[in-house]
Structure 1
């Protein structure tokens, strides 16, 4: 029997209750997420780093390092970005439209803002777990040059959250069956994965199109990750990349919060 304490839970506690609910679901269905969380980036590492990478000579484009070590940090960040987008599209829309668990949660003293905070906390935990697993698995493959891999995990989580915030706002403002998510994955996520410096320096992209990489959060995350483990990125540039990701998260979270309140407050 649950006994009421007569007190409204605090903001952090309320957000954490949402995380506990997500964890209860994840413990039952984690196997269905195993490929995207751990196996997919590992397969990319093996295929591109060891397979294709064996044909790539170390040179100026890779900073004089083996191709495996060049792409290992970027693959972690790329996987974190894709997982964050995945967690912030259909699961968010489902909370409003299909399962409607968001409506059930906000029928309690938990506010839409606290619910949104719980969502971001859960995304951060999911990304932390997946990134840590990838970082450990990459060790025996020789993917890391030094202990900067620990910082790369944090960069992956930060980049993922910077992508999750605007995508959550996008999902929260979606009222159809999520058809426009297909365009998001096809015309934003996939090109960003291929042309934001994950597999080759963006200097290989024509200058007229290079600005698309500059405004990509994944490129900023890749630069931070490579700067942390490979070096070669000045400190002021690192601060600029961090500022871009923080600004993107702040703007996305603001609009996501507006959409959450608009749909959940009657």
Structure 2
């Protein structure tokens, strides 16, 4: 309808509906990366390698698989956010030009971004809930309080997703995504306290880990799962992750507008 302006909430849900229509036809292509791969990692590292690791101070007195599970929950969210914020977004800009078609309607570039972020949050919530259910069945989750780790993992994933989406909106070629995987995602996976305590790394690496959303997410998830989360540190972690989301949204709105209105 000419001159009609779609409300921001309705526009976001319309964008999510478009993603859902595609996903329900193509969900099989994401099963391995979104669901099976994290479970295999839990089996290999938690139950396989973990069977050789004794519970002690380094694991907070917990069996290694229990120590690892909350961290893998966060890594699942962040790793899934990588694909949803790079290749999927780039394709919608460049190859399929889905976003070009959407902004030909009354939906604005900013609303396209908001819908993408909402869809990513739903996808991360689904994948982390599935992982938590499997981890519980395998005995890696021992307390109902671990359910609180899910929103913390999703927040960490979105703190990574929002800035990466903004970055993707500036790309004309996908070459930089391999560098993101190699020099950002992999170091965050290995050196932020997921597989072993951060204090076992050289001190000069600690500030680099503190800058990542993964470390903050792991601290929140483990604290929730083990009942050791204090209020002030939790607020600090949440505030940092929320600030990353907000910064990504501000940058994303700017880049989406430039990309889709020129």
- Please say if 1:211 is aligned against 2:201: no
1:217 Cα deviation (Å)?
0.6
Please tell me whether the aligned partners of residues 136 and 142 of structure 2 are also in contact (alpha carbons under 8 angstroms).
no
After superposition, the C-alpha distances for 1:184-243 in whole angstroms (9 at most, x for unaligned) are 000000110011111111101100122111111100000000010113343211111101
> Which of 163, 185, 190 is the equivalent residue of 2:186?
190
Residue 139 of structure 2 corresponds to 142
1:148 Cα deviation (Å)?
1.7
Residue 114 of structure 1 corresponds to 111
What 5-or-longer segments of structure 2 have no aligned partner? none
TM-score (norm 1): 0.96
> Which of 57, 66, 70 is the equivalent residue of 2:67?
70
1:7 Cα deviation (Å)?
4.4
1:25 Cα deviation (Å)?
0.5
What is the distance in 2 between the residues matched to 1:94 and 1:26?
14
- Please say if 1:61 is aligned against 2:58: yes
What 5-or-longer segments of structure 1 have no aligned partner? none
- Please say if 1:99 is aligned against 2:96: yes
Q: How many residue pairs end up in the alignment?
A: 262
Residue 20 of structure 2 corresponds to 23
- Please say if 1:242 is aligned against 2:241: no
SS in 1 for 2:144: coil
1:5 Cα deviation (Å)?
10
> Which of 238, 245, 251 is the equivalent residue of 1:255?
251
Residue 154 of structure 1 corresponds to 151
After superposition, the C-alpha distances for 1:6-41 in whole angstroms (9 at most, x for unaligned) are 843211111111111101110111111001111111
> Which of 118, 125, 128 is the equivalent residue of 1:131?
128
Pair 1:199–1:261, CA change in 2 (3 A)? same
Residue 221 of structure 1 corresponds to 217
- Please say if 1:172 is aligned against 2:169: yes
What is the distance in 2 between the residues matched to 1:257 and 1:9?
17
SS in 2 for 1:148: helix
After superposition, the C-alpha distances for 1:35-82 in whole angstroms (9 at most, x for unaligned) are 111111100111111111111011111100101110101101101001
Pair 1:109–1:5, CA change in 2 (3 A)? closer
1:138 Cα deviation (Å)?
1.0
SS in 1 for 2:193: coil
